[in-house]
Amino acid sequence: MALFDLRLQDVHNKLNNKELSVTELVNASYSRISETEPSIKAFITLNEEQARRQALELDKQLQEGGERGLLFGLPAGIKDNIVTEGLLTTCASQFLSNYDPIYDATAVRKLKAAQSVTIGKLNMDEFAMGGSNENSSFYPTRNPWNTEYVPGGSSGGSAASVAAGQVYFSLGSDTGGSIRQPAAYCGIVGLKPTYGLVSRFGLVAFASSLDQIGPLTKNVEDSAYVLQAIAGYDAGDSTSANVDIPDYTAALTGDVKGLRIGVPKEYLGEGIDPRVKEAVLKALSVYESMGATWEEISLPHTEYAIATYYLLASSEASSNLARFDGVRYGVRADNPDSLIDLYRKSRSQGFGPEVKRRIMLGTYALSSGYYDAYYLKAQKVRTLIKQDFDQAFERYDLIIGPTAPTPAFKIGEQVGDPLTMYLNDICTIPVSLAGVPAISIPCGMADGLPIGLQIIGKAFDESTVLRAAHAFEQQTEHHKQRPQL
Amino acid sequence: MSITSKDVEHVANLARLELTDAEKEKFTEQLNAILKYAEKLNGLDTESVEPTSHVLPITNVMRADERRESLPVEKVLLNAPDDEDGQFKVPAVLE
């Protein structure tokens, strides 16, 4: 069994018994990276010197004994839009190719407190805009199951690195599906927590009303541990929720008897690959066999979600990305004629096509004369979409469906057609607009590519989501499959 | 409602982007396609629906009006493309 396939408790037991050291864990990570990185390209920046130094310190702590962090010694990858002090944070953009953060994001600070080891910064679609990692301005990450296929996005590097066994776990960010969809495409577990559960302080903002940091892991138990480490109120984020944080691993009882599951017909209708539908129905029969019940429901405003999302997310992005002006950080264009020219040239040279397209769409939707027709209209439809979920959760504990309508697609297949690319997010976007938590777990394969099952819960009820996901894992072997690299 | 390349130029100016002719042409086409798709929202009656700006019941979060340590100037200027005398430096704004 590969080192990173061990359960967290087993890793910690081995560390206790001196059968394993943190240095060995970190070595395993970097040697796997040098083996697989030429074909996967999951990383933008490695943190090797620091990580090795930290490993020595943690090994020393191990010798001395005493209390240890929840994620002690575990090699972690961080998506490159989460700022790390003294470690380049590029957002996979030429604009920030030299950006050296002067502080840690709260989630990173919490990982440090939990004593995981930061291995490096992971590739993504530029500024988290995209669903395939083809919008990275450096190079696309490839799917470990088949390197001709995309790993999904925007947290494609985060998903691929875990699937390839390069790191024990990673952090990603999810705005409209950017943790769940790549987790599905790469055959791993990806959790988008409730909006407000994990601090966004230090997450480079894309769409502030939707962005949320979450864990990508090989199994549900690890997901619960990482969430435990990063969740919690933070005054640095004005939309951080001041709620009690339960013991998430305590929820992993394996018991789903009596759980009521709603299955939206809109998530299994037109445009859903029959192999995906079959895998989801099979998963539902597993839940039935465990004593849960499910029935078909309707989330009637689903068909409006993508239009709503692209108007809102792009509007927020156009405002958030106004800060990239070439004055305080980032790459400044040479020889500007004036201050305005400096802004224009720096932004035009620094941003890639998808980022420009979304800034343009958002600026248009917010511009004088169009605000009511587009932005305000979308905010109102968002209310209707959220009400769909509120109503469903009056009768059901969970909503289950596919994470994505299809398995991963080929690199290059959907480039140049933004609208088709956007439609890949049909099952994840409504959940983001409603702000509720959802996890993607592996539930099958189609022609050698993984399929993801999406389990959606009530706001701040991550415990039930994790419990149901974990119970499924106990009955199935899907999460144990590994790509041959 | 359809966007012309003149609209695209106007919006690019608002967004402080400088587009090539090829980009202008492509964005005109793509933004039209996306906005046409977005028109499906008009099929919904939202007359009496309140807008959602974000999902949490939180408004106007204030912190106590207390003095706090700020970042040292050298750190703040660490990533500045150009600086002078502890300040960010940009081309002259006034003649």
At A68-80, the pLDDT tens digits run 999 999 999 999 9
Catalytic annotation on A79? yes
Q: CA-CA distances (angstroms) from residue A287 to A221, A256, A283, A405?
A: 18, 8, 7, 21
Q: Please tell me which of the candidates B18, B63, B81 has its beta carbon nearest to residue A326.
A: B81
d(CA A259, CA A262): 10
Confidence category of residue A26, pLDDT binned at 50, 70, 90? very high
Section A234-248 average pLDDT: 96
pLDDT > 80? residue A130: yes
Section A284-297 average pLDDT: 98
Range list of H helices, A119-254: 156-163, 180-186, 220-230
Shortest CA gap A237–chain B (Å): 9
A319: tokens are: 């405002």
At A431-474, the pLDDT tens digits run 999 999 999 999 999 999 999 999 999 999 999 999 999 999 99
Section A12-23 average pLDDT: 96
pLDDT at residue B86 in the model: 96
pLDDT > 80? residue A118: yes
User: Could you tell me if A388 and A431 are in contact, meaning their C-beta atoms sit under 8 angstroms apart?
Assistant: no
Tell me which residues of chain A, numbers 295 to 354, contact chain B at a CB-CB cutoff of 8 Å: 301, 303-304, 306-308, 310-311, 318, 322, 325-332, 336-345, 347-348, 351, 353
pLDDT at residue A2 in the model: 85
Chain A residues close to B78, C-beta within 8 Å? 100, 102
pLDDT > 90? residue A305: yes
At A138-177, the pLDDT tens digits run 999 999 999 999 999 999 999 999 999 999 999 999 999 9
Three-class DSSP labels, A39-107: HHCCEEEECHHHHHHHHHHHHHHHHHCCCCCCCCCCEEEEECCECECCECCCCCCHHHCCCCCCCCCHH
pLDDT > 70? residue A191: yes
Say whether A399 sits in a helix, a strand or coil: strand
Tell me which residues of chain A, numbers 404 to 423, contact chain B at a CB-CB cutoff of 8 Å: 418-419
CA atoms within 13 A on the CB side of A143: 26
Confidence category of residue A268, pLDDT binned at 50, 70, 90? very high
Does this model's pTM top 0.80? yes
Shortest CA gap A14–chain B (Å): 41
* Contacts (Cβ under 8 Å, ≥6 apart) of A209: A195, A239, A312, A316, B53, B54, B55
Section A209-222 average pLDDT: 98
Q: What integer best gives the mean pLDDT of chain A?
A: 96
B4: tokens are: 């012309």
Catalytic annotation on A154? yes
Section A217-236 average pLDDT: 97
pLDDT > 90? residue A400: yes
**Angle A451-A211-A173 (CA atoms, 0-180°, nearest 5)?**
50
Section A389-410 average pLDDT: 97
pLDDT exceeding 70 applies to what percent of chain A?
100
Say whether A385 sits in a helix, a strand or coil: helix
Q: Please tell me which of the candidates B41, B55, B58 has its beta carbon nearest to residue A307.
A: B41
pLDDT > 70? residue A1: no
d(CA A94, CA A96): 5
Tell me which residues of chain A, numbers 58 to 117, contact chain B at a CB-CB cutoff of 8 Å: 98-100, 102-103
Confidence category of residue A203, pLDDT binned at 50, 70, 90? very high
CB distance A338–B27 less than 8 Å? no
Q: Which domains does chain B have, with CATH numbers?
A: 5-43 (1.10.20.60)
Helix (H) / strand (E) containing A22: helix A22-40
Instruction: List per-residue pLDDT tens for chain B, 95 residues long.
Output: 589 999 999 999 999 999 999 999 999 999 999 999 999 999 999 999 999 988 988 888 888 899 999 999 999 999 999 999 999 999 988 86
At A339-380, the pLDDT tens digits run 999 999 999 999 999 999 999 999 999 998 899 999 999 999
Catalytic pick from A21, A116, A136, A154? A154
Section A271-297 average pLDDT: 97
